[in-house]
Amino acid sequence: MRLLGAVLLCLSASAGASGSDACATTPVAIPDFNAQGVVAPIVVDAGPGLVVETITVHLGITHPWVGDLVVTLESPSGEVVALLDRPGIPSTGFPGPFGCGGRDINAIFADDASVAAEDICSYAARPVITGTVRPNGSLSAFHGQPASGTWLLRLYDLQSYDVGTLTQACLQITTAPACPADINGDGKLNFFDFAAFITLFNAGDPAADINGDGELNFFDVAAYLNLFNAGCP
């Protein structure tokens, strides 16, 4: 499926923005030893009729003992994925039942990362969890879901004594049309969509390159007809 766009949204708990590049970083305190945690809403306006193709999450958290923390992300559709679940708590062995005593997080969570965030622990490095890391759950669970709406980042500190703060929460989402054959975006498949495709094709618009081979020819027309006949999900 051809990607139609990418939206980078870096938003704080109370901020919302639309556009291709926006970021806000208002600190949000994480309540200590509190199973209720705190919710940081992230309002995404990616445009109508677009669904998630890929997603990564950039988190900045200051905390003197990251093993206390649980972080989840919930989509507007209600799907929940755990980004972090008390890193450093193995079934047995180092570093023990209280998790990693390392300090601070500044990392990008991505499914294709080679290192799992849960497996990182250092008492010397600061931030201890940094770079691109693999989340506890799989962000692919969000694929195909509407991109626009309110995403909920939930943060929990499940041990006492150490207090932390969310300093940055960013989503990077690439989007695709929910129904690729709906060229005019009105939520219906009819003659007007076919006419819109032909207009793009005749104008030499790259958007008419349905099969993605870099050329406009009969194969794109055939590919569009296949999409049209398949209908919308």
- In this structure, the answer to whether residues 130 and 199 fall within a common structural domain is no
Residue count of the chain, please give it. 233
- In this structure, the answer to whether residues 172 and 198 fall within a common structural domain is no
pLDDT at 93: 46
- In this structure, the answer to whether residues 171 and 205 fall within a common structural domain is no
Report yes or no on 28 lying in a domain: yes
Report yes or no on 186 lying in a domain: no
Query: Domain containing 34 — which CATH number?
Result: 2.60.120.260
pLDDT at 128: 97
Report yes or no on 49 lying in a domain: yes
Report yes or no on 90 lying in a domain: yes
- In this structure, the answer to whether residues 157 and 46 fall within a common structural domain is yes
Per-residue pLDDT of the chain (233 residues; tens, 9 = 90+): 333 334 444 433 333 222 323 354 689 999 999 999 999 988 888 877 788 899 999 999 999 999 999 999 999 999 999 999 999 886 444 445 788 999 999 999 999 999 999 999 998 999 999 999 999 999 999 999 998 888 999 999 999 989 999 999 999 998 888 888 988 877 789 999 999 999 999 999 998 999 989 999 999 999 999 999 998 87
pTM of the model: 0.80
Report yes or no on 185 lying in a domain: no
Number of independent structural domains in the chain: 2
pLDDT at 62: 97
Dist CA 211 CA 214 (whole Å): 8
- In this structure, the answer to whether residues 164 and 90 fall within a common structural domain is yes
- In this structure, the answer to whether residues 123 and 212 fall within a common structural domain is no
pLDDT at 22: 35
- In this structure, the answer to whether residues 116 and 199 fall within a common structural domain is no
- In this structure, the answer to whether residues 166 and 220 fall within a common structural domain is no
- In this structure, the answer to whether residues 155 and 90 fall within a common structural domain is yes
pLDDT at 50: 85
Domain end, chosen from 152, 177, 202, is at: 177
| Crossing angle for the helix pair 191-202 and 218-230, to the nearest 10 degrees | 160
- In this structure, the answer to whether residues 204 and 137 fall within a common structural domain is no
Report yes or no on 39 lying in a domain: yes
Q: Which domain holds residue 203?
A: 191-230
Dist CA 128 CA 123 (whole Å): 7
Report yes or no on 183 lying in a domain: no
- In this structure, the answer to whether residues 100 and 139 fall within a common structural domain is yes
Dist CA 23 CA 145 (whole Å): 22
| Joined tokens for residue 208 | 């008419």
pLDDT at 209: 93
- Residue 132, classified by CB atoms within 10 Å of its CB into exposed (0-12), middle (13-18) or buried (19+), is middle
- In this structure, the answer to whether residues 109 and 196 fall within a common structural domain is no
Report yes or no on 182 lying in a domain: no
- Residue 105, classified by CB atoms within 10 Å of its CB into exposed (0-12), middle (13-18) or buried (19+), is buried
